[in-house]
Amino acid sequence: MSTIRPRSLPAYLLALPAGLWMFGAVVMPALLILWVSLWGGTAFGPGNPITLANYERFFANASYRGLIANTFLHTLMLMAITGVLGYGIAYFLVMKVRSRAWRTALFLAFIIPFWTSALIRAIAWVPFLGVNGVINQALMGLGITERPIEIFLYSRTGISMAQVSLYTLMASGPVVYMLAQIPPSLREAAMTLKAPPGVVFRRVIFPLTLPGVVIGQVLVFLSVMADFATVQWIGGNKIALLPNLILNFYEGAQLRAAAVVSVVLMACMLVGTFIAMRVVDIRKLGT
């Protein structure tokens, strides 16, 4: 056990290297983006006056305001789907798979897609979702449909399908950890008292795994909010969310507008994370 007391000088000294790295790699770039978003004038340089005019123009546009709401709604839908699927997968791996070797093998199978970059994972879905893709060929082969369905690719449906497959693991991973920490004696005691399985889950298992659920949902929330690759490749130019708006402004050399949208996106992420952190004490994840 460590003898270093929290909030002591040695504790701060040990945290200093990581703190400096976080400041240089995360805080400083965010502050730079915020600074650029406040530049006024017609030129582009650090000598420009500081103004809120860029934000006023952004929020005066009804399409941009609708895009913020659309991004939130899409993210909440993905969180709900991945939350249910992720919890079901975690429960199956921990509670139903008795062999530790099989449990490890199945969990590694879910991790395989994360061995590649997000861009490769997004592009890999195109052959599955196209008009002549694997899904349409399977549906026609089974006689479910007579002609290819065009709703899968370049649509919100296709984007949602790809993102669910990519981010369900993020929702299930922390739940797997929390489920593994529950002593079997708690469930046995509840069943000894003749509690039905549903009551055991609702009163014992789910409350103890709630920190893992929240952590998983935060990971999904942050990933979906920042995911431009999947939306770009699966949705084409038909679907737009906040991350893609940043990319469009950047490619059009509208750097101040891109910085404004980046700050708005970061603010949305901070608000969502703050709300999630108020639901449960995530420090229980490590206890």
pLDDT one-digit tens code per residue, 145-185: 878 787 777 888 888 888 998 899 889 988 988 888 888 88
DSSP H helices, the chain, are: 9-22, 28-37, 53-60, 62-91, 100-111, 118-123, 126-129, 134-141, 156-181, 184-192, 197-200, 206-226, 229-235, 242-251, 255-279
| Structure confidence at residue 33 (pLDDT) | 92
Give the other-Cβ count within 10 Å of 205's Cβ.
Answer: 19
The sign of the dihedral angle between the CA atoms of 42, 48, 54, 57 is negative
In this predicted structure, which of 60-69, 85-94, 140-149, 277-286 has the lowest mean pLDDT?
277-286
**Residue 34 forms part of a structural domain:** no
**Residue 58 forms part of a structural domain:** no
**Residue 235 forms part of a structural domain:** yes
| Structure confidence at residue 282 (pLDDT) | 63
Residue 235 and residue 211: Cα distance in Å, rounded?
Answer: 33
| Structure confidence at residue 265 (pLDDT) | 93
pTM for the whole structure: 0.85
Tally of domains in the chain:
1
The average confidence (pLDDT) of the chain is 84
Degrees (nearest 5) of the Cα angle 252, 45, 60?
A: 55
Residue 138: which domain range?
63-286
The sign of the dihedral angle between the CA atoms of 48, 53, 58, 61 is negative
216-237: pLDDT as tens digits: 999 999 999 988 888 888 887 7
CATH number reported for the structural domain that contains residue 99 in this entry:
1.10.3720.10
Secondary structure element (H or E) that encloses residue 114, with its range:
none
**Residue 2: pLDDT band by 50, 70, 90 thresholds?**
low
Degrees (nearest 5) of the Cα angle 112, 115, 121?
A: 85
- Looking at per-residue pLDDT, the higher value among 110 and 162 belongs to 162
70-85: pLDDT as tens digits: 999 999 999 999 999 9
**Residue 22 forms part of a structural domain:** no
| Structure confidence at residue 57 (pLDDT) | 92
Does residue 286 have a pLDDT over 90?
Answer: no
**Residue 137 forms part of a structural domain:** yes
Does residue 238 have a pLDDT over 80?
Answer: no
**Residue 267: pLDDT band by 50, 70, 90 thresholds?**
very high
Task: Please state the rounded mean pLDDT for residues 58-63.
Answer: 92
Q: How far is CA 126 from CA 120, 156, 169, 239, in A?
A: 10, 14, 21, 15
- Looking at per-residue pLDDT, the higher value among 92 and 3 belongs to 92
**Residue 187 forms part of a structural domain:** yes
Tokens representing residue 154 in the block: 């370049």
Task: Please state the rounded mean pLDDT for residues 194-205.
Answer: 84
**Residue 287: pLDDT band by 50, 70, 90 thresholds?**
low
**Residue 234 forms part of a structural domain:** yes
Query: Could you tell me which residues are beta bridge partners of residue 39?
Result: 50
**Residue 108 forms part of a structural domain:** yes
Task: Please state the rounded mean pLDDT for residues 25-52.
Answer: 84
In this predicted structure, which of 56-60, 142-146, 172-176 has the lowest mean pLDDT?
142-146
Task: Please state the rounded mean pLDDT for residues 45-68.
Answer: 88
**Residue 186: pLDDT band by 50, 70, 90 thresholds?**
confident
